[in-house]
């Protein structure tokens, strides 16, 4: 590898924490879901980097599973957004507090 | 090395655009750029199948789902406005938290020693590490059970989505006209 492993891992960490800021700071549920996709992708980048580092493709298998879980999560999250939006035309996830204890 | 720097800059810039964009549609565009750059990065890491999966599943399926939902929510009586964003108020603690986490990762990396294993063959050659044949062999021999669990996860997701966002709930439907027949009509005797 001409590029060191550390560089890939640091890029993955930067992407991960950009996604973390998006999940915490944004209040639009769609943008929050997209930030969660960023988190999944940065984890996949780290997994693929370490798979290359060890020349062992178990990391690829794991990244494949992560992609599957991300697809399921996006589908269910968007379904929840749709049904909540049907009842109340919210623009802010903080307004959806029906289940708050 | 040049490719890595360019791809990293593209990924970070598009991720920042995704997080800071005003409208969700702009975020989708930023996310698309991020996914494509990430797919090319996978190619530099000898992960051919994952690169293709990234384009097909993420850019092709998940982002289209996002676009459909945005279009669906915008099709109502009033447009789906982003609304007052509380981003400035929550931004400072979020950035502090992210910087602490990032510093922890950097410290951990600094203490680690990575010695990448050499690989015979380049990306795109057959039967080297990361080729599609290599990935498929690993997936369908040693990792067959995780693969089957993948199918189960997707099935659960499909059922959940249909239950959540499918047709309206039974209570909202107009009640059906009662059938004239009695519930348990007398059966004809079964010939023995």
Contact criterion met (CB below 8 Å) for B69 and A81: yes
Contact criterion met (CB below 8 Å) for A15 and A6: no
CATH assignment at residue A25: 1.10.287.3510
Max distance between CA atoms of chain B, in angstroms, equals 84
What tokens were used for A41?
Answer: 């992708």
Residue B69 vs residues A75, B62, B79: alpha-carbon distances, Å: 10, 11, 13
Range of the domain at A42: 5-95
Q: CB distance A21–B98 less than 8 Å? A: yes
Per-residue pLDDT 10s for chain A (101 aa) are 678 889 999 999 999 999 999 998 887 888 899 999 999 999 999 999 999 888 888 999 999 999 999 999 999 999 988 888 877 766 677 777 777 76
The set of residues, in sequence order, having a beta carbon less than 8 Å from that of A84 and lying 6+ positions away, is: A29, A90, A96
Q: Name the B residues in 59-98 with CB < 8 Å from any A CB.
A: 61-62, 65-66, 69-70, 72-73, 76, 78, 80-87, 90-91, 93-95, 97-98
Interface contacts (A, B; CB < 8 Å): 232
Q: Inform me whether the pLDDT recorded for B2 exceeds 60.
A: yes
Contact criterion met (CB below 8 Å) for B70 and A30: yes
What tokens were used for A38?
Answer: 């960023």
Does residue A101 lie in a domain region?
no
Does residue B118 lie in a domain region?
no
Q: Which helix (H) or strand (E) holds B128?
A: none
Q: Could you read off the pLDDT of B39-66 as tens digits, one per residue? A: 999 998 889 999 999 999 988 889 999 9
Indicate the pLDDT class of residue B71, thresholds 50, 70 and 90.
Answer: confident
Q: Name the B residues in 134-173 with CB < 8 Å from any A CB.
A: 134-135, 138-139, 143, 146, 149-150, 153-154, 156-158, 160-161, 164-165
Same domain, B68 and B132: no
B interface test, pick of A5, A42, A44, A48 with most B CB neighbours within 10 Å: A48
Choose the closest CB to A60 out of B49, B105, B161.
Answer: B49
Indicate the pLDDT class of residue B77, thresholds 50, 70 and 90.
Answer: very low
Range of the domain at B151: 127-167
Q: How many domains does chain B have?
A: 2
């Amino acid at each position: 590898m001409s590029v060191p492993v550390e560089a890939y891992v640091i890029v993955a960490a930067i992407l991960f924490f950009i996604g973390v800021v998006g999940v915490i700071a944004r209040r639009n549920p769609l943008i929050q879901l997209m930030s969660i996709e960023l988190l999944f992708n940065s984890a996949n980048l780290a997994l693929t980097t370490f798979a290359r580092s060890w020349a062992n493709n178990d990391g690829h298998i794991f990244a494949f599973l992560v992609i599957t879980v991300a697809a399921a999560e996006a589908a269910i999250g968007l379904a929840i957004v749709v049904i909540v939006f049907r009842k109340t035309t919210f623009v802010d996830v903080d307004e959806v507090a029906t289940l708050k204890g | 090395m040049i490719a890595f720097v360019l791809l990293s800059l593209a990924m970070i810039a598009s991720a920042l655009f995704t997080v800071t964009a005003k409208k969700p549609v702009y975020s989708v565009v930023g996310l698309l750029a991020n996914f494509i750059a990430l797919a090319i990065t996978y190619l530099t890491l000898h992960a051919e199948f994952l690169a293709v999966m990234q384009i097909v599943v993420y850019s092709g399926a998940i982002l289209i789902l996002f676009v459909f939902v945005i279009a669906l929510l915008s099709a109502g009586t009033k447009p789906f406005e982003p609304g007052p964003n509380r981003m400035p108020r929550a931004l400072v603690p979020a950035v502090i938290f992210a910087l602490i986490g990032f510093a922890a990762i950097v410290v951990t990396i600094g203490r680690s020693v990575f010695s990448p294993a050499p690989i015979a063959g380049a990306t795109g050659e057959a039967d080297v590490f990361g080729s599609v044949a290599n990935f498929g062999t690993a997936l369908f021999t040693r990792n067959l059970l995780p693969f089957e669990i993948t199918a189960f996860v997707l099935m659960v997701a499909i059922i959940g989505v249909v239950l959540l966002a499918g047709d309206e709930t039974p209570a909202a439907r107009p009640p059906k006209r009662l059938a004239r027949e009695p519930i348990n009509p007398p059966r004809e005797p079964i010939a023995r």
